[in-house]
Structure 1
């Protein structure tokens, strides 16, 4: 087969943009068809006589334009005009799901919304919430954010807090406020799936950094020496971290691990985005990165996993110098987070509802973890009773993609490691197992038993009828 190779003889400007433009032109003309595989980056670089980094940057730019789609372990392909819906996005009717994939953290234990709305209706001066407010949110709601950050082990200044439409919106705003297109942002080798798409669409280069591992094989925190090397050699300007209940490995960084990363960040002037939505579940009380390095760190707090994803309220706490940029970006993207739902959340924080709901969810999670340990065993299960998901190692030779597909055939949603890895890296033999999206205990056990069967059965038997009743 003839390798695709663009003619750049008439190109002007940056070569990487010329390659991306050529990809776009050939897709529009039909010279590159949907599903067609592009040449490996190293091979195209050789054909064009340019550096590998130039082609890598060109492919990333084409992915940002939604022209290409990287498939871990397989290569880069021309993307369809209509992308597949992510398995992380919920459907309207999920009543029959055996859902070990989406990490919704016990939404059936969330507070009674009708009671919350009744209380909200009695709030004095409520009509003022039905108008425009500052993009950073009302002062009273930023005070709520400061109270919430206490649960994240950060003493926050309300004047440095802004409200966002959930944590994911907060991540987008902070990526834009702290970095510029072309900057490198370090992430763990396994990381939050949303940033794998959002950062490249903003023109940012994600740089995966290895995680340290214990002698038992358990994953630990980001390797500070590898981060330092990336800062020296790959134009890394910042780092995205989840210090508590890392998604997906569940690891909570020790104080020494946090201090080592902060030392590297200070040495190289790296900006830190700290996203820790599960911190209030974690029993270990360690200072946030924003407490250890307040001059470098932008921290995110969210109530979606705690009491109310439907309210779409999150909070960001940033160094003062980035405050105006954050306010402007919130205004440009959505003008403001809803003051109505912000007041709903503030009431739940003030009256103790948040504290009571967290206690109930922690209790339920301990029971689910105990069951998962009994069914799946603890030798390959990284997690704990205060972690709302676990990281499951698979037997040698078992393909996590095959396990995921087989589970889907049995009506169980699960996520293999490929959803958490930066493109162009081989898929590792792990699955993330969530505890709180299935309501019933019987259904949760059945999903675990099907997972146990799928990961251990003979490959030739996997698509036969499940032995689990």
Structure 2
């Protein structure tokens, strides 16, 4: 196979940009096709007579432009020019009524919006909410954010809190505030799907770290020894963690597991992003990482999974050194989170609506969990009465994407492990099953019954994946 090698003879200016421009031009002309593997960076650097760092910057720039995608351990490939819409994004036409894929956590039990808006309308000085406010949010809303962080196990300083347009926006802001393009961040081998896309688009490299496993095969926390090894050999700058109700495995880290990670973070100076959208559902959870290592940790508290996804309000709590950076990044991206919807959320926190809603949702989740245990078999998945999703184990060698496709043909949505894997290796034989998105109890039971049959059919060998050689 002929190695791809651009002609840089007429180039003036930075070489890394010229290489990135050449990649883009050859993709547009058809000289490079979707899925084609580019030469290893060291080999291309040798062919062009430039430094390895130059090619590394060029590939990163091409990834930022969404021209390439890197696969850990495999190489760099030409990315599809048209990306499929993520199955996590809801559709207005409600493609799936039997939805076990999207984790919306009982939205039908959210508080009455009309009553909340009526309360906001009676807010003294309401006209101020219709104007520009500081990018970090009004002090009254940040103080209410500190009350919310109490539910996340964090004693937060309101002066170190900023409002964001939802937790997802908070992740984007923290990635930019704490890190620089080219930095490497450690993530769990299974992790939140969004960061797998957003971090590379910001020029950040992700390194998957193995999870420890119990004797019964259930997944535990990130392996601290593996994290330390990555910090030594791959110049890791930080780590993204979900300590409570880890998505997708459901594991809640013990205090010992948290302390082990903090020791590694302190030894190597790793910054920590603590993202825990489901924490208030968890009945018992140890102290937040932001309490164990406040100088290293930026924490996120979201509202969407708890009470109001439509408000698009989230909160971040950061070490004081990053406060100005966070404020500036919010200002540059959206100027500010909406003070109108921030007041809506603040009122629900102050008057106890949030806690009452969580109680009602918690009771509903107990019932759904019992149904899942009965139909799926308690030993077949990782989860608990206070976990709003389950991590379903399939037989070894079964391709979960086949089960996912089989379910889709029968009107049931579910997510295979591939959406959560931090590397593009053979998909692991797991699926995430959400408990709270389907509204009715009969519909939820019907979806699980279809899942049981689809799994049984697949595991019987009729839809086995090709064995890994």
Mapped contact 1:242–1:276 kept (Cα < 8 A): yes
Equivalent residue number for residue 232 of structure 1: 232
Equivalent residue number for residue 62 of structure 2: 62
Equivalent residue number for residue 290 of structure 1: 290
**Structure 1 CA distance for aligned equivalents of residues 21 and 414 of structure 2:** 37
- The CA deviation at 1:424 is 3.1
- Comparing 417-426 and 260-269, the one that deviates more: 417-426
1:269/1:447 Cα in 2 relative to 1: closer, same or farther (>3 Å)? same
Mapped contact 1:4–1:39 kept (Cα < 8 A): no
**Structure 1 CA distance for aligned equivalents of residues 16 and 38 of structure 2:** 15
Mapped contact 1:382–1:392 kept (Cα < 8 A): yes
- The CA deviation at 1:74 is 9.4
Q: How do residues 66-85 of structure 1 correspond to structure 2 at under 5 angstroms?
A: 66-69=66-69, 78-85=78-85
**Structure 2 CA distance for aligned equivalents of residues 73 and 455 of structure 1:** 31
- The CA deviation at 1:6 is 1.8
- The CA deviation at 1:60 is 5.0
SS at match of 2:452: helix
Mapped contact 1:72–1:426 kept (Cα < 8 A): no
1:297/1:74 Cα in 2 relative to 1: closer, same or farther (>3 Å)? closer
**Structure 2 CA distance for aligned equivalents of residues 119 and 314 of structure 1:** 20
Q: How do residues 168-247 of structure 1 correspond to structure 2 at under 5 angstroms?
A: 168-247=168-247
Equivalent residue number for residue 309 of structure 2: 309
Equivalent residue number for residue 7 of structure 1: 6
Mapped contact 1:6–1:19 kept (Cα < 8 A): no
Mapped contact 2:136–2:336 kept (Cα < 8 A): yes
Mapped contact 2:383–2:390 kept (Cα < 8 A): yes
- The CA deviation at 1:71 is 8.0
* Correspondence 1:456 to 2:456: yes
Equivalent residue number for residue 467 of structure 2: none
1:378/1:54 Cα in 2 relative to 1: closer, same or farther (>3 Å)? farther
**Structure 2 CA distance for aligned equivalents of residues 40 and 424 of structure 1:** 16
Q: How do residues 40-439 of structure 1 correspond to structure 2 at under 5 angstroms?
A: 46=43, 49=46, 59-69=59-69, 78-94=78-94, 96-439=96-439
**Structure 2 CA distance for aligned equivalents of residues 225 and 13 of structure 1:** 43
Mapped contact 2:4–2:39 kept (Cα < 8 A): no
Q: TM-score if structure 1 supplies the norm length?
A: 0.92
- Comparing 90-99 and 230-239, the one that deviates more: 90-99
Mapped contact 2:24–2:67 kept (Cα < 8 A): yes
Equivalent residue number for residue 39 of structure 1: 37
- The CA deviation at 1:80 is 4.1
Equivalent residue number for residue 29 of structure 1: 29
RMSD value, Cα: 2.5
Mapped contact 2:189–2:423 kept (Cα < 8 A): no
1:119/1:17 Cα in 2 relative to 1: closer, same or farther (>3 Å)? same
**Structure 1 CA distance for aligned equivalents of residues 366 and 72 of structure 2:** 34
- Comparing 116-125 and 287-296, the one that deviates more: 116-125
- The CA deviation at 1:47 is 6.9
**Structure 2 CA distance for aligned equivalents of residues 450 and 230 of structure 1:** 42
**Structure 2 CA distance for aligned equivalents of residues 69 and 267 of structure 1:** 32
Offset from partner CA, 1:261-290 (integer Å, 9 cap, x none) = 000110111100000000000011310000
- Comparing 368-377 and 128-137, the one that deviates more: 368-377
**Structure 2 CA distance for aligned equivalents of residues 96 and 193 of structure 1:** 20
Mapped contact 2:270–2:296 kept (Cα < 8 A): yes
SS at match of 1:337: coil
- The CA deviation at 1:39 is 2.3
1:116/1:232 Cα in 2 relative to 1: closer, same or farther (>3 Å)? same
1:41/1:355 Cα in 2 relative to 1: closer, same or farther (>3 Å)? farther
For structure 2, the 5+ residue unaligned runs are: 465-469
Q: TM-score if structure 2 supplies the norm length?
A: 0.92
Aligned residues: 459
**Structure 2 CA distance for aligned equivalents of residues 189 and 55 of structure 1:** 27
- The CA deviation at 1:81 is 3.5
**Structure 2 CA distance for aligned equivalents of residues 109 and 341 of structure 1:** 19
**Structure 1 CA distance for aligned equivalents of residues 53 and 214 of structure 2:** 33
- Comparing 23-32 and 294-303, the one that deviates more: 23-32
- The CA deviation at 1:214 is 0.7
**Structure 2 CA distance for aligned equivalents of residues 321 and 397 of structure 1:** 48
For structure 1, the 5+ residue unaligned runs are: 464-469
- The CA deviation at 1:65 is 1.1
SS at match of 2:378: coil
Mapped contact 1:108–1:439 kept (Cα < 8 A): yes
1:73/1:104 Cα in 2 relative to 1: closer, same or farther (>3 Å)? farther
1:47/1:71 Cα in 2 relative to 1: closer, same or farther (>3 Å)? closer
